Chains A and B, each alone.
Chain A
Amino acid sequence: DVKVTQSSRYLVKRTGEKVFLECVQDMDHENMFWYRQDPGLGLRLIYFSYDVKMKEKGDIPEGYSVSREKKERFSLILESASTNQTSMYLCASSSPFEGTPEAFFGQGTRLTVV
């Protein structure tokens, strides 16, 4: 079974802290994604990576950066956390070149910035 694992289920951080959200997948997928989910706004793409060290901005990249040094790991970085970044963060992976390019999600990280 495909497994996408996010490092924390719940996280509480202080305003101004640098925050790292980690995501690891075990299926050798090329693509990895970070989404945030807020009530009434659905899932919004923050960043997308289609290969090691390659990244593309999604719909709401402001205030975030990402790192993909290894194929299996995709990190989301909040350079200086703010209260408006309190949200549910979801990581996903997929392989668009396979016969069934399904996306698989991690369990999600609920981040609270106080």
Chain B
Amino acid sequence: GIQVEQSPPDLILQEGANSTLRCNFSDSVNNLQWFHQNPWGQLINLFYIPSGTKQNGRLSATTVATERYSLLYISSSQTTDSGVYFCAVITDSWGKFQFGAGTQVVVTP
């Protein structure tokens, strides 16, 4: 099956810093999502981005499908950005998702 690898596994940031999270996948995909898991455990949709670039406030994402990676950018980080960030790809025609292991982000004041 498709392998999804995220890096780095952990990230500690000072408030106000910028950062880049990476998601590599082992095969061609048509769909990719980024999620943020908040401290209460819920996964919040950030981006649906099979290709190209999208921006939402201080967050933006880029997927280069031909090179099999996606990047999530966090600018001017805030303590509320803390949590785990997951990317997920659809692996078959039925719509099943494969998740990466996640990047744990801690933003310190």
Contacts and interface: CB of A to CB of B under 8 A. Distances in A.
Secondary structure call for the A interface: strand
B94 A50 contact: yes
A95 B31 CA distance: 12
Interface string B39-63: 0111111001000000000000000
B42 A101 contact: no
Q: How large is the interface on A (under 10, 10 to 19, 20 to 34, 35 or more residues)?
A: 20 to 34
Contacts of B97: 33, 45, 92, 94, 103
A102 B43 contact: no
Q: How large is the interface on B (under 10, 10 to 19, 20 to 34, 35 or more residues)?
A: 20 to 34
B72 interface: no
B99 A96 contact: no
A90 interface: yes
Given A96-B90, A107-B41, A101 B95 contact: yes
B21 interface: no
A78 B93 CA distance: 28
A114 interface: no
Interface of B: 31, 33, 35, 40-45, 48, 86, 88, 90, 93-97, 99-102
